[in-house]
Structure 1
Amino acid sequence: MKKRYTAAAAMMMVLGMCASASAAFDENLNDYTLDTMVVEADAIKNKFGDTITEQSYYRTGGDVKVITREEIEKRHYTDLTEAIKRIPGVTFQNPGYRGGEYGYQFYNNGVSINGDTRVIILVDGRRVDNAASTRIGSSTTSGSKATGVNLDQVTNMENVDKIEVIKGPGASVYGSDALGGVINIITRKGGQTNTGSIDLATGSWDKHKYALSYSGSAGNDNSWHYFISANRDMSGDTKYKDGTVGDTGTLGGSNWKEDGVNVRIDKDFNDKQSLKVWYNFKQGRDGYPIATPNMKYYNQKDWDDIIFKATVGKLDANNKLIWDGKYKEKGRRDPAGTRYEEYTKTDGTKGYYVLDASGNKIKTFTKLSGDAKNPGYHNLYALDGKAYGSFSKFKNNDWDIQYTFDKDNGMESFIRVYDQNHRYAHRDKYKWTLLSDPSNTYNDLFPTGATSDQLAQWIKDNLAPFPGGDQAALKEWVEKTGGVASEPTSWHEEKNRGVQLQYAKSIG
């Protein structure tokens, strides 16, 4: 009994401290006035504490996380990946910049949940990733695939009401390729009152965001609901800090510009019947920088050395080309019919000429590619994004019309007609030299080697200039080699069209 009284007394002391902590205190009074506290139920949660969404009744268990509209606005997420990646276990594989080889390399636009890439993407419960897409990066014997959908190109953040992430095999009701999980994007519906918003943001690197939305209801009974939004996101080239030397550089070609429009109209006939018409448009032109330059080698001297080794060949101490000597069989023919002829080199060893169709002797020289043999080699890709403006483009047009004719215990029976039309293209342009055979051109001019000045002048006359150097010379080179990357004349297309019928009935 003594222990019980002691515990009760301790509990009263704790309650007393809690009460005083939430009270308003005036030092001139001897009384405490408790603040009024109102407790309200959370309308979006059920009795188990789960967040309720339009798709809640179609789950089959598993770990479910929901990102609400309130969180999206409070944290000011600007795209879908930024919002979703805060959920533990969800990772994205992307190139680190906005554009890229969209549609070609699955590792550029992949998503995985707890390490499993068998993830499908839904919008309002409708699948938006294309099962027949060429963006299939891996498969298993059961035929499941790794998704390659670029989430940031699905829809705009202003159009998103909630994002539901289902982890694990509990999402397998959607198919065998959903064993990793499901990401369901639920769009916004107009409310009872008319309201609008304008969102303006700006930051470093000429990054700007403009967005506006307007929603509400219409009709004598407010049974019509509408939501309209439009946005533009854009940015100039971003800067980065080099991990080797610590210098700050600019990633040429990392600029981007994307626009979007969303419209959703709903008609509520009664508690069980409704109509939804949804339209989504999004397009973008994203820079294509390919690789981040290594600042250790990003200077005029190293550029000349790197581009010469990659385009012309390797030099000895006298700036004479080193022949590769890789052919070891006299008179051997390759599949194309090329012949080789043996000769004795000046050091007494044997070498081999390459003979063309007319029997003319053509030497081949050691060309170095890759950072292992030619340190800083990937700096050459700075030409693609910075000088030639390589880019990727996409344009999405999506329609979705759904008539719900019954609801039973929260489950909908409906018929849906949808048309998903996505197209994309990319332009990767670069030109290191205009010479058809730079190795033999150099060797014919300097068969015994060249001075440092002669070598520097030859590089200046025949190879692409350093992108971080003389900008006038760089512009002249681009014009001489055909100009910047041109607009696409053809597109890769993904179309997903169909009719969906669902009849749901609760038994018991």
Structure 2
Amino acid sequence: MKRWEVFWIVAGLMLWPVCVGSEPTKQLDEDVAVLDTMVVTAGRVEEKKSDVSSNITVVDEEEIKESGAQDLGDLLENEGFMVREYPNSLVSVSIRGFRTETHGNDLASHVLILIDGRRAGTGNLAKILMDNVERVEIVRGPGSVQYGASAMGGVVNVITKKGHGRPSAYAEGTLGSWNYYKTEAGLSGQAHQLDFSFSASTESQNDYDTADGDQYPNTGFDSKERISANAGWTFFLGNRIGVTYIRYDGEGIGSPSYLSQNDADDYVDNAIRTVDLTYDGKTRGGGLLWKLRYFDSKDKYETFDPENYGNKHKYYRDTDQNGAQAQITGEWQSTSLTAGFDWTRYEIDNTYTTGENRYDNPAVLLLAKTGLLDDHLILSLGGRHDWYEVESDDGESKEDTNWSTSFGAVYKFSAQLSVRANYAEAFMMPTADQLYMYTDYSAWGMGIWSGNPDLNAEKSRTVEFGVDYTSTTLTTGLTWFRTRYEDKIDYAYDAAEDITRYENVDDATLSGLEGTVSVDIGVWLDWPFQLAPYASFTYLSEYKDEEEDTDLQYTPEWTASYGLRLAHPESGLTARLNISTVSKQDIDDYEGTGETTLGGYTVADLTASKRLVDWERYGSLTMNAEIRNLFDESYAVVQGYPSPGRSFFVGLKYTY
């Protein structure tokens, strides 16, 4: 059977309930109103998910707990995205063939990571742990109109928890394979006008074994510590002044190189610290809303090679980021208009600079949305103008501007069924290295590498069409997308000058299908518990570099995630079986094995949680358990770096 036949069959099965319906679904739709999820990432203000013309996924707090994810990379892998991980230290994600930069450089990424709606300052998902997180919103496709450079393949917004209701506290301890341990504690709630949410955790792990039974030396880490705090004071008419503080410190994180060429003493220290001051306000009737934010963050990355460098780092990169956001939204019946100003400044110091590379990026934006035909038709329009200046450590600089546009439409046939269309532009400005670097790598056999001050910004144009159906028992969606990627920045060897130089090479085209489906059999059959099979996939029908007329490297043809959720509220039992699968992909053979492809893999994880006792007035005790790589699959997400074999984890959580 041809691959397109397979996907049309899958699409037909996903959309069959939409077309023909069924008596249980019809009856439930008449009796129970479908609650619409609210999102904030796509339009920078709270809106109904069903009003958004982009394909957006929301992972709420319950799903995060069920997943057993420790960091953002774990979570996105469970959601069916392609994740590349160098053991415990460097994690990147790919969305629609675009990905975050391997070493976490925010400015060189093609997928943008946000914390509470502003640039996280890093693209390394290993630094973003899932403690004290309320939900994660994933916009598949461009987000430059809303957030500026780097948001070409998608936007991932990690939203921290705000305290509400009666104050509560928890403490949790977890033990696992490879001498893993984690301790965590937190406190959240409200006291009059003050809301607060706080968590702190520390964890460590020894070296792991692969599924083939080989010990993989130097894959453990000494410690990963995290503090997250979000507090706010609400006053006149729902106005809130807030402060958010996040700190992550990773120390002694093994950096082993390939298993075949293992380096037993190299390690990494990395850290990120952020402080946000915010003011959210609105008028008495809620017709005018505004948001002000100032943020400051520092991202650190250091590598150590004790054998050759002693206690001095081998390489370091310090990134200081600060900036501001200001926006105001007017709402009139079915129409809203948001005007905003963003400003971000980066100062980057690394081993190869004598000073700092600087980036300044002010921008203005305008987002409009209106409902027509009794709100059956939702139209959205957006525009953003970015000014940016890139300055190298030796004083060379480049200034340029970029205009991004987006247009979207959603038509709702009913409260359950809608179709959507979206057009969006995106860009990525060249980095200081790409513009001005001049480094002699001859000692490593790679010759001289040079920047190119004439580089243009990378740009993309994306068109997508989708259909969604949501009822009390069934949620499903299918999206087709096509992206034209222009002025791609890559390096090219110039034989005449014997130099490797960054160039704007020819264009690339990416297109494909995305789909999700989830069915709650428990609600369908009126059972007292949830039993919900689910699946999501991304299939790239085209992902070609037109310069070389070859498929893009490190880009799998398809990725998928599917499984089964179980929840029995009365007994306090939840469980989830999740299976992630990734097809093979073309790669560069840096290991020297002669292989030019990385084989596909399928990995299953099982998580479960059971409330052991509920003392009512004195709190409750819950046991959590997890088996990762349930079937002991031998696989690697990066060539030469095999992943851990079957791993067990168990924890106890006391909540008061």
User: How high is the TM-score relative to the length of structure 2?
Assistant: 0.41
> Which runs of structure 2 are paired with 1:294-313 in the superposition (5 Å)?
294=260
Map of 1:428 onto structure 2: 305
Map of 1:260 onto structure 2: 226
**Is the 1:255–1:287 Cα contact (8 Å) retained in structure 2?**
yes
Distance 1:278 1:267 in 2: 12
Distance 1:410 1:57 in 2: 16
227-236 or 281-290, which moves further after superposition?
281-290
Secondary structure of 1:58's partner?
Answer: coil
> Which runs of structure 2 are paired with 1:365-380 in the superposition (5 Å)?
378=261
Q: CA deviation at 1:94?
A: 2.3
Distance 1:234 1:411 in 2: 48
Q: CA deviation at 1:266?
A: 1.2
Tell whether 2:190 aligns with 1:217: yes
Q: Which runs of 5+ in 2 are unaligned?
A: 1-22, 46-51, 100-109, 336-656
Tell whether 2:124 aligns with 1:150: yes
Distance 2:32 2:164 in 1: 20
Q: CA deviation at 1:417?
A: 1.1
**Is the 1:415–1:500 Cα contact (8 Å) retained in structure 2?**
yes
Secondary structure of 2:73's partner?
Answer: helix
Q: CA deviation at 1:116?
A: 1.9
Map of 2:326 onto structure 1: 501
Map of 1:235 onto structure 2: 205
Aligned equivalent of 1:274, options 240, 244, 247: 240
Distance 1:412 1:249 in 2: 58
- For 2:271, give the aligned amino acid: K
Map of 2:468 onto structure 1: none
Deviations 1:160-214 (A, max 9, x none): 1100000013664323531211000000011111111122111111011111111
Q: CA deviation at 1:487?
A: 5.7
- For 1:398, give the aligned amino acid: T
Tell whether 2:250 aligns with 1:284: yes
Distance 1:174 1:430 in 2: 43
> Which runs of structure 2 are paired with 1:112-123 in the superposition (5 Å)?
112-117=94-99, 118-123=110-115
Secondary structure of 2:218's partner?
Answer: coil
Question: What percent identity do the matched residue pairs reach?
Answer: 23
Aligned equivalent of 1:419, options 296, 300, 313: 296
Distance 2:94 2:84 in 1: 8
**Is the 1:288–1:428 Cα contact (8 Å) retained in structure 2?**
no
Map of 1:405 onto structure 2: 281
Q: CA deviation at 1:493?
A: 0.9
**Is the 1:54–1:186 Cα contact (8 Å) retained in structure 2?**
no
Tell whether 2:43 aligns with 1:53: no
**Is the 1:251–1:292 Cα contact (8 Å) retained in structure 2?**
no
> Which runs of structure 2 are paired with 1:186-225 in the superposition (5 Å)?
186-218=159-191, 222-225=192-195
**Is the 1:252–1:289 Cα contact (8 Å) retained in structure 2?**
no
Q: CA deviation at 1:428?
A: 2.4
Deviations 1:275-303 (A, max 9, x none): 11100111011433433434xxxxxxxxx
Aligned equivalent of 1:390, options 253, 260, 266: 266
- CA separation of 1:411 and 1:150: change in aligned 2, threshold 3 A: farther
Q: CA deviation at 1:405?
A: 2.8
Map of 2:61 onto structure 1: 69
Q: Which runs of 5+ in 1 are unaligned?
A: 1-13, 19-38, 100-107, 131-148, 243-247, 295-377, 432-481
Map of 2:83 onto structure 1: 92
**Is the 1:122–1:182 Cα contact (8 Å) retained in structure 2?**
yes
Distance 1:165 1:410 in 2: 28
- CA separation of 1:187 and 1:41: change in aligned 2, threshold 3 A: farther
**Is the 2:95–2:153 Cα contact (8 Å) retained in structure 1?**
yes
Deviations 1:368-423 (A, max 9, x none): xxxxxxxxxx2xxx3x32xxx32100122210010123268688412111101111
Deviations 1:430-458 (A, max 9, x none): 46xxxxxxxxxxxxxxxxxxxxxxxxxxx
Distance 1:426 1:206 in 2: 24
Distance 2:287 2:257 in 1: 50
- CA separation of 1:177 and 1:402: change in aligned 2, threshold 3 A: same
Distance 1:410 1:72 in 2: 34
- CA separation of 1:487 and 1:265: change in aligned 2, threshold 3 A: farther
Distance 1:177 1:492 in 2: 19
Q: CA deviation at 1:124?
A: 0.7
Larger radius of gyration: 1
Aligned equivalent of 2:120, options 106, 128, 150: 128
- CA separation of 1:499 and 1:173: change in aligned 2, threshold 3 A: closer
Secondary structure of 2:74's partner?
Answer: helix
Distance 2:207 2:293 in 1: 42
* CA RMSD in angstroms, aligned pairs only: 2.9
Secondary structure of 2:131's partner?
Answer: helix
- CA separation of 1:188 and 1:487: change in aligned 2, threshold 3 A: farther
Q: CA deviation at 1:109?
A: 3.9
**Is the 2:305–2:314 Cα contact (8 Å) retained in structure 1?**
no
Distance 1:87 1:280 in 2: 25
**Is the 2:303–2:314 Cα contact (8 Å) retained in structure 1?**
no
Distance 2:95 2:248 in 1: 26
When you count helix as a share of all residues, which structure comes out higher? 1
Deviations 1:226-264 (A, max 9, x none): 11110012100111144xxxxx22111111120011111
Distance 1:172 1:110 in 2: 23
Residue correspondences, number: 289
**Is the 1:98–1:286 Cα contact (8 Å) retained in structure 2?**
no
Map of 1:81 onto structure 2: 73
Distance 2:65 2:203 in 1: 16
- For 1:127, give the aligned amino acid: R
> Which runs of structure 2 are paired with 1:26-37 in the superposition (5 Å)?
none
Distance 1:291 1:489 in 2: 15
**Is the 1:57–1:411 Cα contact (8 Å) retained in structure 2?**
no
Secondary structure of 2:201's partner?
Answer: strand
